[in-house]
Amino acid sequence: ILVSIIIHSTTPTSALLFSQRKLRMRTAMMSNTGSSDKTPDSCIGVESSLLPILQRSFPDASSVSIEDNIVQANAEGFGVVVNGERGNSTQLFVKQVKAEKYSHKPWGDLRRTLLYSRTEARFYSDVLPLLKKNITEILPDWNIAPTCHLAETYLHGLIDEAESTSAKLSASEEYPDPSYDESDSSILHNKGGVLILESLKGDFYQTSPLTQSQASQCLTAIARFHATAFEDKEILSVVSDKLCEYGGSYHLKNRNPKELENLEKTWDNFSNELKVAKPELFEKDSVRNLAKRIKALAEDISMELSPAFDDKYATIVHGDYKAMNVFLPGDGDGDGDGNGEEITKTDENEINGHAIIIDYASTGVGMGMSDVAMHVTHALHPVDLINGGEEALVDIYLFSLQEVMPNFTYPKEIAMRHYRLATIDYFRFVLGRLWRGVTLEAFEKRKSSKNAVFVNRNIEAALYFIERADKFLTEIEEENIST
Task: Evaluate the omega torsion of the peptide bond into residue 209 and state whether it is cis, within 30 degrees of 0.
Answer: yes
Query: How far is residue 446's CA from residue 180's CA, in Å, rounded to a whole number?
Result: 33
What are the distances in angstroms from CA 4 to CA 90, 153, 157, 190, 233?
23, 7, 17, 14, 27
CA 403-246-258 angle, to 5 degrees, is 130
Tell me what pLDDT residue 203 has: 67
Q: In which residue ranges of the chain is pLDDT below 70?
A: 1-42, 44, 168-174, 201-203, 332-353
Tell me what pLDDT residue 13 has: 37
**211 half-sphere exposure, CB direction, 13 A CA radius:** 14
Tell me what pLDDT residue 345 has: 36
Among 145, 163, 133, which Cα is nearest to 95's?
Answer: 145
Tell me what pLDDT residue 480 has: 84
Tell me what pLDDT residue 21 has: 35
Tell me what pLDDT residue 14 has: 34
- pTM for the whole thing? 0.88
Tell me what pLDDT residue 337 has: 54
What residues does 328 pair with on adjacent strands? 205
Tell me what pLDDT residue 87 has: 81
What residues does 184 pair with on adjacent strands? 181
Tell me what pLDDT residue 199 has: 81
The DSSP call for residue 316 is E
